[in-house]
Amino acid sequence: MSFDIEKIRSLFPVLHQEVHGKPLVYFDNAATTQKPQAVLDALTTYYNHDNSNIHRGAHALADRATRYFEETRETVKNFINAKEAAEIIFTKGTTESINLVAATFGRKFIGKGDEIIISTLEHHSNIVPWQMLCEEKEAVLRIIPITESGEIIYAEFEKLLSPKTKFVSIVHASNALGTINPVQKIINAAHAVGAKVLLDGAQSTSHLEVDVQKLDCDFLAFSAHKLYGPTGLGVLYGKREVLEAMPPFQGGGEMIKEVTFEKTTYNEIPFKFEAGTPNIADVIAFKSALDFINLLGKKDIKTHEDELLAYANERMSEIKGFIPVGTAAEKVSVLSFNINGMHPYDVGMMLDANGIAVRTGHHCTQPLMKRLGLEGTVRASFAVYNSKSEIDKLAEGISRIARIKNK
């Protein structure tokens, strides 16, 4: 399918502006995607017409807000093909989702000498919570090494697996390099030794078809704002039997059935993990973002983004001094690179002067950058509203920068 890019772009108000006198080229989608008008309208409609707390009210506004909120939960369930909506927990982001699992499942089921496996590719949010848990429980954190191209060494992962392995937490697609990990093989191998598996889907859910039943992962964590939805909202999927075995994450309203000073009984899932007033407006608006993705079709979105990445690689290969970082065979639409002899931040600032928005630095993956011997990279990441003509502008900008350096 060939997208009508101009029609798609017309749905995103933020894209139609100038930055430093140049038309905005937004290539920072791995950090956050822009929001279609339908998402913005859903936010204002809630506050203008339906603003109320949910689940406990006996009036029309509360009923409407509750219904719209739970419709989003059902939409998320279908989006990742969970068995039931009760397996969908709303959090404030991927980071909180991972912390929730570490703080509940981890504290109940991980003990002294147990082992947790992560990879060199991980975002800090999938490193630090496990380090904290291991320090508290005297458990051991094992790391899957990677190749120079940014792919995990699967044979080394297999060597790390043992009866001591209780948990594997792995990124599905790297935010820094775009590498797609062989998560199906990882899940199957981990389950064979009795370990549970969490997938960090912050990047994969926006680019790839993710079917949690087919994958058989125990947990999946992702964020709305990388899926054309609002910031401050995340999702944790967990298998019912695993969620029911876990203690609550926080105490307060909503997560209880009955409270006395002697004893409190906890609510059923998902409410057991959703203490307090939730992020109602953003949850409701997230449905509009998922509807937008479903209307275009995940398969066609991926095809478009793959074409953009292939075209970008072709154009950049012509530029003297361009150094690609992360050349895995299977990638999402992330182009990470450096310019010979230049600091990534300087490159990013020079591109910004031409209206081109990219990300620079270590991308919250300092151990990965250390493994690659880099201080950081420049990262251009593509979304459904990006075009080949924008990539041409990026190539022209990089070419000018490289020429300046090599004069």
CATH 3.90.1150.10 fits 5-30+297-405, yes or no: yes
Reported as type and span, the H/E element at residue 313 is: helix 298-316
Q: What is the DSSP letter of 272?
A: G
Residue among 24, 68, 19 nearest 46 (CA): 68
Q: Is the peptide bond before 163 cis (omega within 30 degrees of 0)?
A: no
Pairwise pLDDT comparison (98 vs 405), residue with the higher score: 98
pLDDT per position as a tens digit, 24-42: 999 999 999 999 999 999 9
Of the CATH numbers 3.90.650.10, 3.40.640.10, 3.40.228.10, 3.20.20.70, which one belongs to the domain with range 40-294? 3.40.640.10
* Tens-place pLDDT, residues 74-118: 999 999 999 999 999 999 999 999 999 999 999 999 999 999 999
Q: How confident is the model at residue 3 (pLDDT cuts 50, 70, 90)?
A: confident
- Of 352, 320, 355, 354, nearest to 339 by C-alpha is 320
- What the block records as the tokens of 296 is 């275009």
Local confidence band at 268 (pLDDT 50, 70, 90 cut-offs)? confident
Answer yes or no: is pLDDT of 187 > 80: yes
Q: Are 195 and 166 in contact (CB under 8 A)?
A: yes
The per-residue pLDDT for range 291-326, each reduced to its tens digit, is 999 999 999 999 999 999 999 999 999 999 999 999
Domain residue extents for the chain:
5-30+297-405, 40-294
| Model confidence pLDDT, tens digit, residues 189-221 | 999 999 999 999 999 999 999 999 999 999 999
How many Å apart are CA 259 and CA 306, to the nearest integer? 53
Per-residue pLDDT for 258 more than 90? no
Q: What is the mean pLDDT of the chain?
A: 95
Residue type, 16: H
Residue 339 is inside which H or E element, if any? strand 334-339
Does the pLDDT at position 267 exceed 80?
no
User: Which uninterrupted H or E stretch holds 256?
Assistant: strand 256-259
Q: The dihedral of CA 178, 179, 183, 189: what is its sign?
A: negative
33 Rama sector, left if φ>0, alpha if ψ -120 to 50, beta otherwise: beta
pLDDT of residue 379: 98
- Strand partners for 258: 265
* Residues carrying an active site annotation: 364
